Amino acid sequence: MSHPESVEHREVIVIGAGVAGIYALHRLRNLGVDALVLEAGDDLGGTWYWNRYPGCRFDSESYSYGYSFSKELLNEWHWKERFSPQPENLKYLQYVVEKFELRNGMRFNTQLEKAVWDDDANRWTLHLDGGEVITCDLLLPAIGLLSAPTLPRYEGQQEFTGQSFHTYHWPKEPIDMSEMRVAIVGTGATGVQIIPAIAENVKSLHVFQRRPNWCAPLKNGSISDEEMADIRTRYDDIFARCAETPGGFLHGPIDGSFHDATEQERYEFWDELYDKPGFGIWLANYREVLMEEDANAEFSSFIADKIRERVNDPVVAEKLIPKDHGFGVQRVPMETNYYEAYNRNNVTLVDISEQPIDRIVPEGIKTSADTYEFDLIIYATGFDAITGAFDRIEFIGQNGRRLRDEWEKGPRTYLGVQVEGFPNLVMLAGPQGASVSTNFPRAIETSVEWASDLVEHMRSQGLRRVECTKEAQDAWVVEIEELYGLVLLRNAKSWFTGYNSNVDGHDIKRHMIYNGGAPRYRRRLDKVVANDYVGFVLT
């Protein structure tokens, strides 16, 4: 494959200007690399650019989420809330980009449609929307875990005469919902944030729930100047704590055993956890809760009773308690007054396991039992998670191999970094890496730093090509599958296991994430480098 001299060429191209892409550009520029970020949106921010819906915010502590690479940045930024909301998060990322003068290395409104590997030239050819072609030596996708939204597949969705959209495409302009009859389809993490945020500001709200999730209180609060000043003195300890926990959060499992505590001691401990902010209820619990059926069942019963205490109508309460999975076997939505929203007279829960949605009609939603009229339908129906953004781009590797075909029955990677047959494609936050299952910024700093160190190594050694071996990839896939066997999430129908009824072919278990914990993953990356990039061929 050859190109005219006029085709633009870059040493490294990063796809996506979110949390990972921003840091990648900063690191690469510091190495003197000719790098460019391509972004489909009209500005930077990734997740925090697209998700503008009411209630959208961090579910990890703000000061554990921001970048750790710059002491100056840490000293300058004041997190205003313990769990920061989307507008502030976007301002933070914009501040970082302006501070480190990164914007001129980003090209917006640029959608990558196809990337083709040129085996003779050792480079990627990128075909962009609009017909532009650009080439690069190394391609670093930073395209996000939850950036491919999926709509439900109901007939008549285009016939609705009111306003409707997926939460990922929430309009930039504010919507006055005060006189609106609103429907929300979906009660995953997004729905759990939106529902209480808008319940008191709409005329009526109908929540269409396919199956409930286990949720726990977020316990958000403001951060005063004095508290922020104290946090700044503790940043080294904060990030050290995140580095030692399996999930990269401030919360890690306790040393004590479920089996060594009496029932009274367990319930007293769980009451304490329930009243504390953040993911402690999920991640700072007994290890056995996430690993053993009996322990999980007892804790799930405890949470079920909390739901019953908070929801006035016992019939509604039972509908909000999951029956098909235990607490914590899929990512736990953190909520603020979610259950209390169902105590409002203007909020109605529609259980579509009892009355399925037949179709969308011009006036609203028709179920098997009734027709509901709405002015606005909000689809909080989630994402084609982890691999979806890759599937929407046509990556063509050696011998015409298509990445989406290689991953049809589930992703196959080496370290979540590379795919055999796709040289010089180095994934940032790829499937089967630790970024998928941990506090994202903590994990992507590891991923970006490892990838940029690889770039530096290749430059210093005059190397032009890096590709993982089939043997290394096969061994990693087996390791990933074995790690699933250790935890109860193996039984979940969630994006951790690749299930999505709105995506063809995603009704089978797919091994999407690395369950060995962030510390173990970092040690593995370090060992690979120490052994001359074992599993990779560099030429």
pLDDT in the model for residue 21? 98
pLDDT in the model for residue 330? 85
> By C-alpha distance, which of 60, 68, 118 is closest to 96?
68
Task: From first to last of the 539 residues of the chain, give the pLDDT tens digit.
Answer: 555 557 999 999 999 999 999 999 999 999 999 999 999 999 999 999 999 999 999 999 999 999 999 999 999 999 999 999 999 999 999 999 999 999 999 999 999 999 999 999 999 999 999 899 999 999 999 998 889 999 999 999 999 999 999 999 999 999 999 999 999 999 999 999 999 999 999 999 999 999 999 999 999 999 999 999 999 999 999 999 999 999 999 999 999 999 999 999 999 999 999 999 999 999 999 999 988 999 999 999 999 999 999 999 999 999 999 999 999 988 899 999 999 999 999 999 999 999 999 999 999 999 999 999 999 999 999 998 889 899 999 999 999 999 999 999 899 999 999 999 999 999 998 999 987 668 889 999 999 999 999 999 999 999 999 999 999 999 999 999 888 887 776 667 665 666 666 677 766 677 888 888 899 999 999 999 999 999 999 99
Q: Residues with Cβ < 8 Å from 143, sequence gap 6 or more? A: 15, 16, 389, 390, 393
Give pTM, 2 decimals. Answer: 0.95
Contact 446, 525 (CB under 8 A): yes
Specify the pairing of strand 466-468 against strand 536-538: antiparallel
CA distances from residue 247 to 416, 437, 439, 440, 442 in whole angstroms, order as listed: 16, 7, 6, 9, 9
Residue 329 C-alpha from the chain's centroid: 16
pLDDT in the model for residue 508? 66
Which amino acid type is present at position 203?
Answer: K
Quote the radius of gyration of the chain (alpha carbons, Å): 24
pLDDT in the model for residue 495? 59
In whole angstroms, what is the distance from residue 306 CA to residue 95 CA? 40
pLDDT in the model for residue 300? 97
Q: According to CATH, where is 3.50.50.60 located in the chain?
A: 8-148+385-538
Report, at the CATH architecture level, how domain 8-148+385-538 is classified: 3-Layer(bba) Sandwich (3.50)
Contact 182, 198 (CB under 8 A): yes
Q: Residues with Cβ < 8 Å from 51, sequence gap 6 or more? A: 86, 167, 168, 170, 190
